[in-house]
């Protein structure tokens, strides 16, 4: 493996000559997986200002072809959403929603044999003098799932100065990948930490869909009785068939701390950072506080 990162402001490029295959998607297999050559993996990281329109065109295509489809109540999300149709995201909305002006955002992608196999967007902000790193999008091409790609992408995002990691996702596999990449196991997740910090963290976010999310679950309302523990209501009525299959597997095999998944909701996942042994003086400065 050869790493090139001459400056924090320049993109980091990592070549993986011999892949390590790890299964991170717990959902049951629906058939024989396509055998692929993963011998040439290229991971690249970009600051938000370095992300070109061409990159966003490719990212939009990856999302549109691999994210998911609208559920039966799609109309509640808006007239544009049709049950069974693929959820789509334009390049313009990608930039506006995931790379807003003035925010400390980053983009990581991996190409395998020159094919865009996965990507992740992240944003950093501060709250109570703590640096929050929030994964705003994580997508892996369907042909490259269950191979540790999601974990590897998230590993490219993490920095020493990060105090808290967070994400909102309807798929348990995304939470499992984050737990592994950010040096936790799913069974070590601290629900009290989520209860204490989630509200302030999301309200401080420069990302509108994070900032406006409505916290739901027994962590935030003792009267909740529907099995939800840590979720957000996003009015995003994507089909949950595959996430619920994965959730059943995880609940039976690994244990699951975040509770049930309801339509229009996503899991809210928050982790306290376990820092690596690098001194703060050599790390990147904290992002500015966003008011």
Domains of the chain from N-terminus onward: 2-28+37-275 (3.40.630.30)
- State the pLDDT confidence band at 6, using cuts at 50, 70 and 90: very low
- Say whether 50 sits in a helix, a strand or coil: helix
E runs forming strands in 153-213: 164-169
pLDDT value of residue 37: 59
Vertex 126, ends 123 and 131: CA angle to 5°?
A: 75
Calculate the alpha carbon distances from 197 to 114, 127, 137, 176, 200 in Å: 41, 9, 21, 20, 6
Rounded to an integer, what is the distance from CA 163 to the centroid of its chain? 17
Classify the phi-psi angles of 157: left when phi > 0, otherwise alpha if psi is within -120 to 50, otherwise beta. alpha
Q: Are 74 and 81 in contact (CB under 8 A)?
A: yes
Distance CA 54, CA 56 (A): 5
Is 263's pLDDT higher than 80? Answer: yes
The pTM is what? 0.82
Is 36's pLDDT higher than 70? Answer: no
29 burial class (0-12, 13-18, 19+ CB within 10 angstroms)? exposed
Q: Using one digit for the tens of pLDDT, what is the confidence trace for 179-237?
A: 999 977 898 899 999 999 999 999 999 999 999 999 999 999 988 889 999 999 999 99
Q: Are 200 and 128 in contact (CB under 8 A)?
A: yes
DSSP bridge pairs for 223: none
């Amino acid at each position: 493996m050869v790493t090139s990162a001459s400056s924090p402001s320049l993109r980091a490029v990592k070549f993986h000559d011999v892949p390590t295959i790890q299964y991170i998607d717990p959902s049951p297999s629906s058939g024989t997986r396509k055998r692929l050559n993963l011998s040439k993996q290229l991971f690249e990281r970009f600051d938000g200002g370095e992300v070109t329109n061409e990159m966003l065109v490719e990212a939009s295509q990856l999302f549109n072809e691999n994210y998911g489809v609208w559920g039966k109540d799609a109309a509640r999300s808006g007239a544009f959403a049709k049950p069974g149709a693929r959820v789509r995201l334009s390049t313009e909305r990608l930039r506006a929603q995931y790379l807003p002006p003035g925010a400390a955002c980053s983009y990581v992608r991996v190409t395998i044999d020159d094919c865009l196999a996965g990507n992740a967007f992240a944003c950093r902000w501060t709250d109570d003098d703590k640096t929050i790193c929030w994964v705003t999008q994580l997508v892996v091409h369907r042909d490259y799932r269950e191979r540790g790609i999601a974990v590897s992408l998230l590993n490219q995002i993490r920095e020493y100065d990060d105090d808290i990691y967070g994400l909102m996702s309807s798929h348990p596999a995304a939470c499992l990948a984050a737990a592994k990449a950010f040096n936790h196991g799913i069974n070590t997740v601290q629900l009290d930490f989520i209860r204490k910090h989630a509200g302030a963290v999301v309200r401080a976010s420069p990302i509108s869909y994070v900032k406006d999310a409505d916290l739901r679950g027994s962590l935030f309302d003792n009267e909740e009785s529907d099995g939800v523990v840590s979720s957000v209501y996003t009015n995003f009525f994507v089909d949950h068939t595959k996430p619920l299959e994965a959730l059943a597997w995880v609940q039976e095999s690994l244990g699951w701390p975040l509770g049930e998944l309801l339509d229009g909701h996503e899991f809210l996942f928050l982790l306290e950072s376990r820092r690596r042994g690098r001194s703060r003086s050599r790390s990147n400065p904290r992002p500015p506080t966003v008011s």
